Amino acid sequence: MSEDRSALVKSVLVHDGRVVHLSVDTVRFPDGSLGELELVRHRGASAVLPVFGEEDDPDPDVLLLRQYRYAAGGVVYEVPAGIVEPGESWEACALRELQEEAGVRAGRVVHLTTIHTTPGFTNERIRLYAAFQLTPAPTARDADEFLETVRMPLSRALTLAESGEITDAKSLVALLHAARFLLGKSRPA
């Protein structure tokens, strides 16, 4: 299906929150029929994989967060990420979150890809980056962020991804995309 012929007919706002906005939309589908869909609107986010070393390193270290996530039922591994602020670029958001959550600044950042998180019910997109030339910086975590940084070889992170210990989608895509397309690693060591 290459062309989207659906069209918004009517939107009823159900919840207008700090992070998400929920509406029930009446939509005209590609076949001309009408239907109602619940849609979570989200302004988007950036996520960044911190890489210690350069693209030609055989097994560079990466930095992941072990973060408490209520919705996931506990602690998960993930890359630093956050919601873009009004007027902020996607790259600036990634760099800000990198410092606030991981406590490092990047001398160089590379855009990896952009993902739709759950296109069945939200318009959220996350822009994924890899950060290099890292130097220590002060953190500025939010009151609801309970996390620790974990530095490990990329090969170890890929093993955690392969075993299912890393379950966060943005983090899996960032790790696998960086390993395969940016750093040229196709399998865990």
Task: Please check whether residue 46 is in contact with residue 33, taking contact to mean a CB–CB distance below 8 angstroms.
Answer: no
Give a yes or no: residue 88 inside a domain: yes
Give the integer Cα–Cα distance in Å for 2 and 63. Answer: 38
Residues 92 and 170 in one domain: yes
Q: Within the chain, where are the H helices?
A: 90-97, 154-163, 169-177
Residues 31 and 81 in one domain: no
Give a yes or no: residue 106 inside a domain: yes
Residues 160 and 110 in one domain: yes
Residues 136 and 57 in one domain: yes
The number of domains in the chain is: 2
Which structural domain range is residue 158 located in?
A: 45-182
pLDDT at 2: 44
Task: Please check whether residue 96 is in contact with residue 81, taking contact to mean a CB–CB distance below 8 angstroms.
Answer: no
pTM, two decimal places: 0.87
pLDDT at 1: 42
pLDDT tens digits along 132-169: 999 999 888 878 878 899 999 999 999 999 999 999 99
Using 50 as the pLDDT threshold, list the residues of the chain that sit under it.
1-2, 187-189
Residues 91 and 166 in one domain: yes
